[in-house]
Structure 1
Amino acid sequence: MTRSSGFKVGIGIAITALVGIQKAAAQAPTLSVDPSRLPRLGTIDARFQSYNVEMVEVTGGRFWKPYNPSASAPSARGADNAGNMPAGGNPDLFAYREPIDLSNRRLRTLAAALAPAYLRVSGTWANGTYFAESDETPATPPGGFSAVLSRERWKGVIDFARAASAEIVTSMATSPGARDATGLWQSDQARRLFAYTKSIGGRIAAVEFMNEPTLAAMGGAPKGYDAAAYGRDFKAFVAFIRTSEPDVMVLGPGSIGETTASQSSTDFISTRNLLAASGPGIDAFSYHHYGAVSQRCAPGQPTPEAALSEAWLASTDRTFAYYRSLRDEFAPDKPMWLTETAEAACGGNPWASTFLDTFRYLDQLGRLAKAGVQMVAHNTLAASDYGLLDEKTLRPRPSYWAALLWRRLMGTIVLDAGTHHGMHLYAHCRRGARGAVTLLAINTDRTNAVTLRLPVTSERYTLSADDLQSVEVKLNGTALKLGPNDELPRFAAVTSPPGSVEIGPATITFLTVGEAKNPACD
């Protein structure tokens, strides 16, 4: 072959390849969805989208040290609960924080905008928290406890829940201080908490016995605590609730760790063993999920580059499937509640506070609503790097704005939007609009847009950011921020006529279809 002929062949191959690429682009599948025909899958609790305020936030104490100390600097003042941290915890990972001001107007305004919700006040720290028996709060916790919850602080929780239209979920003290000389759990602390709550007009809607009993040793349980001890204690707890607080839902077991490396610990107690030992008694099956622990606890964890990958996002499904199988075996037909979740355990990674984690947050809500989970409590509302609000300023982070859009647009009836290559698509009946449908389209591709074809007019709300690791998020190109006096911005939609709607690379779009006339939404 001559050089000339080789050149011609090369040009021919290049042209053929270019034509092939152009044809492939031209033939790239457009996702067509008819909102009027999407079938109903089921329903979710009206308080499906919920949040946690850690018990240590209420009492004050040592919580996960922020990556940027200047953003949320801990107090230098000595504190009654300054030594409170998980058993065996590395003190270098924690910093003291003052009790959260639950009377703060901004905090209440932003929480109320997510109503109705469940407010879960629990966490590992709750296992060792002593509830004061009078208005005089002890300066130090009694033996067997690691922190003190004053009546004033708990009243603040009740007042906050009322202002935010939230129902309280909590857990019991289970450390050695809550036990008799033989190690048996006693209901004294629980009785005192419930009695005081009712005396001031409050209500506890649901309760877990212990926070994360699979990691009981880390949570301050007595030395050698095992599944048999848990089963004995849980039965006593259920007997107390049924007799004294029959209107309170019992959640359990509140496990974590079976789908991560946590179970490698010699102290780990499997959920199967916990359920076998405790027997029946739960009204809803609760579990926790973190796709990983943060880099502050385990360097080398998933990086920002993996944050939009299917492997990372699908960890939600893997954990759910594991605990659903146990639910089906030990508590068939009981609803499932995810009572604690976030980007990563140990306070979240540095990018948990950025737009990048909004994809995980909304995709998780979409997946779990579709699977029938009834409640998802994000950890936290306003603490550490995974909070929906900045810990110091209480200003919304990107995931808060996403949460607010979900709250306003996604109703409790879940529709089946199908499975589509190249985009995560979820559908619900629109909140407060008969016959209307809301689609949630999440494009995790960082470079390519996806086209969605709709036969009717839609209203578009697109979340984007100039930098995926930015703490600023835009809605239809305009930065979201609070107005004067903490006024929430007006969420202005862009009208899209029937036809193609482009979902840009690495963006999240809610599409409301007012004229869907879906019979499932009547």
Structure 2
Amino acid sequence: MATTRSPLVASHSPRILGSPWPLVLCAKVVFGMNALNGREPDGKSYMGGNWDMTNAASFIKYTVSKGYDIHGWELGNELGGKAVGTLIAADQYAKDVTFLKWVVEDTYEDSPSKPLLLAPGSFFDKDWFSEFITKTSPDTVSVVSHHIYNLGAGVETGLVKRILNPSYLDGVARQFSDLQELLKTAGSSVVAWVGEAGGAYNSGHHLVTDAFVFSFWYLDQLGMSAKYNTKTYCRQSFIGGNYDLLNTTTFQPNPDYYSALLWHRLMGTKVLDAKFSGTTNLIRAYAHCAKNSSGISLLLMNLHGNARNDVSLTSEELLVVDASGVTREEYHLLPEGGDIHSQVMLLNGRALTTDADGNIPRMEPIIVHAAQPIAIAPLSIVFAHMPNYYAPACS
């Protein structure tokens, strides 16, 4: 996501309170390669020796012979950085990914399209990633990938408190910024991906990571990763575990599915610098140029349990086009019954559930006059599309 920032400040005054879009499914396939093949233990947690790529090379050649369109090949899974149990040294990893690059280039020599090459698919550690990026030539990998499970283990009881704690949410920003700084310093065209993120590892936690409350974490991650120029964010998982976008038993979309769908439809790839100015730090604010439309789109989240916030938009750089009768579109997301552990999300008061044929419901906004503040209920999420607001960065 290209990062273009334009000052955008939201203010608030708190009060205490007791179009049909078609759904098109497509997939880009990225295979993860076994990076431990052929290695031997080298000390307590390290695996030493060169990677045996024989099996990987055979598989890559097979997919090419069949004409399969493979989007990318990734070497290893959580074997670098802050590794989980087993670690491969950064210099060795750089050598191995260079060998994989050679295999891919040789195999795809006559192919019109070339796949991406990703590594290391690991938890971020600045020193390890710095050495890996430094010892990998600028054009070796296409993507430096990292994983995020910053909430801890799924069995822990404090997950909701962490999700609703703005300081805890902000903690992962350093990871995004450090990785971008490493890539910038290297001077390469390599981009960053979040290659896997489920928030809470070991399959998440039922009625937390598959419920309404998890959209606060998920959407905050999407907003923050975009702010730091992350090109792709891969959610763990589409189906399976307790952090899936689809219910494993019924295949009904969980709340995060609809959150992701609204993000995808409304938030463009140019990121504006949104700041919330007020007496609380419990409002999360993100702003982008609108996607496939004029104007800007906002994402606002209220982490407060009982305070409504009325948010107004102020900026010296924003211009209002055709001020007479200006309106905006708002999408208010709340949990069914006011229970943040609910697996049913309400959009503007209507439950988001598929029909008898499994079709995704119409996701209609409410139309509000632009002069009115955006009212954000306690523990709710609001997307707002403001088509008549012009930001120079969006041109």
Matches of 1:505 and 1:439 in 2, distance apart?
A: 17
Q: Given the alignment of the two structures, is residue 41 of structure 1 paired with residue 5 of structure 2, yes or no?
A: yes
- 1:336–1:165 Cα change, 3 Å: same
Structure 2 portions without partners, runs of 5+ = 7-21, 41-47, 314-319, 321-325
Q: 2:368 aligns with which of 488, 493, 496?
A: 496
Equivalence map 1:326-475=2 (5 Å): 326-330=182-186, 332-350=188-206, 351-421=208-278, 422=280, 423-433=283-293, 435-453=294-312, 456-465=326-335, 466-475=338-347
- For 1:239, the equivalent position in structure 2 comes to 102
Instruction: Give the corresponding residue for 1:271.
Output: 129
**Partner of residue 480 from structure 1, selected from 352, 366, 369:** 352
**RMSD, matched Cα:** 2.9
Residue 125 of structure 2 is matched in structure 1 by 258
What SS class does the counterpart of residue 319 from structure 1 fall into? helix
Relative to structure 1, is the Cα distance of residues 519 and 319 closer, same or farther in structure 2, using a 3 angstrom cutoff?
Answer: closer
SS in 2 for 1:508: strand
- SS in structure 2 of the partner of residue 405 of structure 1: helix
Are the counterparts in 2 of residues 437 and 512 from structure 1 also a CA contact under 8 Å?
A: yes
For the Cα contact (< 8 Å) 2:177–2:228, is it kept in 1? Answer: no
More strand by share: 2
Other-structure match for 1:190 = 56
Contact 1:230 1:277 in 2 (8 A): no
Mapped partners of 1:332, 1:495: distance in 2:
45
**Structure 2: how far apart are the matches of 1:353 and 1:165?**
23
Kindly provide the amino acid, as one letter, of the partner of residue 425 in structure 1: A
Worse overlay, 330-339 or 345-354: 330-339
Paired residues of 1:440 and 1:511 also in contact (CA < 8 A): yes
Mapped to 2, the partners of 1:478 and 1:205 lie a distance apart of: 38
Instruction: Give matches, 1:102-251, under 5 Å.
Output: 113=23, 164-176=25-37, 183-214=49-80, 218=84, 225-245=88-108, 247-251=114-118
Contact map agreement 2:149 2:201 (CA 8 A) in 1? yes
Of Structure 1 and Structure 2, the greater helix share is in 1
Alignment partners' CA distance in 2, 1:417 and 1:228: 39
Deviation, 1:317, is 0.6
Summarize deviations over 1:200-250 as a string: whole Å, max 9, x none: 3321222221112227985778xxx54443333222222222332362222
Are the aligned partners of 1:212 and 1:219 in contact in 2 as well (CA < 8 Å)? no
Q: Which has the larger radius of gyration?
A: 1
Letter of the structure 1 residue corresponding to residue 327 of structure 2:
T
For residues 394 and 275 of structure 1, do their structure 2 counterparts lie closer, same or farther at Cα, with a shift above 3 Å needed? Answer: same
Identity over aligned pairs, percent:
28
**Aligned-pair CA distance for 1:191:** 2.7
Deviation string 1:239-293 (CA, Å, 9 cap, x unpaired) is 222332362222222220538xxxxxxxxx9334444555542222221111133
- Equivalent in the alignment of 1:318: 174
Q: 1:511 to 1:388 in 2, by over 3 A?
A: same
Please report the TM-score for the alignment, with normalisation by the length of structure 1.
Answer: 0.61
Q: 2:14 is matched with which residue?
A: none
- Answer whether contact 2:64 2:108 (CA < 8 A) is retained: no
8 Å contact 2:79–2:86 — kept in the other structure?
no
* CA deviations over 1:36-88 (Å, ceiling 9, x no partner): xxx9439xxxxxxxxxxxxxxxxxxxxxxxxxxxxxxxxxxxxxxxxxxxxxx
Amino acid at match of 1:413: K
1:517 deviates by 4.1
Q: 1:333 to 1:257 in 2, by over 3 A?
A: closer
Report if the CA contact (8 A) 1:284-1:335 is conserved.
yes
Give the whole-Å Cα distance in 2 for the aligned partners of 1:490 and 1:216: 43
Report the secondary structure of 1:418's partner residue: strand
Helix, strand or coil for the counterpart of 2:102?
A: helix
Q: Is the 8 A contact 1:252 1:285 kept in 2?
A: yes
- TM value normalised by structure 2: 0.79
Call closer, same or farther: CA 1:420–1:383 in 2, change over 3 Å: farther
**For residues 258 and 215 of structure 1, do their structure 2 counterparts lie closer, same or farther at Cα, with a shift above 3 Å needed?**
closer
Distance 1:484 1:412 in 2: 35
Shift of 1:480: 0.7
* Secondary structure, counterpart of 2:71 in structure 1: strand
